[in-house]
Amino acid sequence: MNKHIVLYKKLSPALMIRLQERAQVTLIDTLDSDGLQRLRAALPSAHGLLGASLRLDAELLDLAPRLEAVSSVSVGVDNYDIDYLSGRNILLSNTPDVLTETTADTGFALILATARRVVELANLVRAGQWNHNIGPLHFGSDVHGKTLGIIGMGRIGEALAQRGHFGFGMPIIYHSNNPKPAVEKRFNAQYRSLSQLLQQADFICLTLPLTAQTQGLIGAEEFALMRPESIFINISRGKVVDENAMIAALQQRQIRAAGLDVFEREPLQHDSPLLHLDNVLATPHIGSATHETREAMARCAVDNLLAALAGERPANLVNEVVWRQRLERV
């Protein structure tokens, strides 16, 4: 296969060797101004792109007339103009399955740590301020037996429900585009409208993709529906939430606390009010950030790209319409 792959993400030596055995590879190891300049210079001869965390817009991809496939090392595809790619018959693939369990682990870690104020109280000990037994001022709230509300019952939502139902005896309520009978049977879960879920859940967890329909889904009106003891968890995408509305709800104690792994702008700005709220636990988008999962994601992305460039259907194809059109032309 005499193809040129532009790689804008570092891979393990084994995966790098695998790519180099099958194609010419150009590695762009940083995405600073110099790296972006080198990327633009490499695009005219590129048949395949592999990477993550870079917005590939039409202006950039117009520089790549030979491009056949883009392989994203992510489950989210909001960095890509899917209509543009499909219009040019470029296959887009992602890595949806391999990070499900790890991301659900992160979500439940945020539930536990936020409810029990783990980071806040650990910092108290570290600062030498644990001078007597803690009292009600530092009490947290129980997790077991509380109602877990999941907004977006996809793979990660189901994995989160499994942990809550079987591990912590939590009643599960959920909201999604359509009811999920199999989920309801397995976890004794109950479907709710969005407003009902926001009013009834003790823990409100977002596991939605970012789309035109979900952007800004949770705003001031939605936070007003939550109860003062509610804890809000976001492991989806930051732009699903109106961040200013969330900050106001936390400042005014409309809700008890928030555990956040994603934000409207990442990295989180140093002047963000979220950094100064004692009822916020913020992590740096670590949903899939384990050695095992990140390697599995990269391996999946390599498999997807090599399949696409060999004329085969990638296992995790996002724009199926392009593949159907290719079959029709054969």
Adjacent-strand bridge partners of 205: 150, 233
Q: Which residues pair with 218 in a beta bridge?
A: 241
Compute the distance between CA of residue 135 and CA of residue 132 in angstroms, rounded to an integer.
9
Contacts of 275 (CB under 8 A, 6+ apart): 268, 282
DSSP 8-state assignment for residue 45: G
Contact 74, 316 (CB under 8 A): no
Q: What are the φ/ψ torsions at residue 36 (nearest 5 degrees)?
A: -65, -35
Active site residues: 237, 266, 285
Q: How far apart are CA 42 and CA 103, in angstroms?
A: 33
As a whole number of angstroms, the distance between CA 12 and CA 16 comes to 6
Which residues are registered as beta bridge partners of 56?
Answer: 80
Contacts made by residues 312-315, CB under 8 angstroms, sequence distance 24+: 314/69, 314/71, 314/91, 314/93, 315/93
**Pairing between β-strand 172-175 and β-strand 148-151 as defined by DSSP bridges:** parallel
C-alpha to C-alpha distance for 103 and 158, rounded to whole angstroms = 11
* CA–centroid distance for 156 within its chain: 10
The single-letter DSSP state of residue 166 is I
Nearest residue to 207 (alpha-carbon basis) of 164, 171, 248: 164
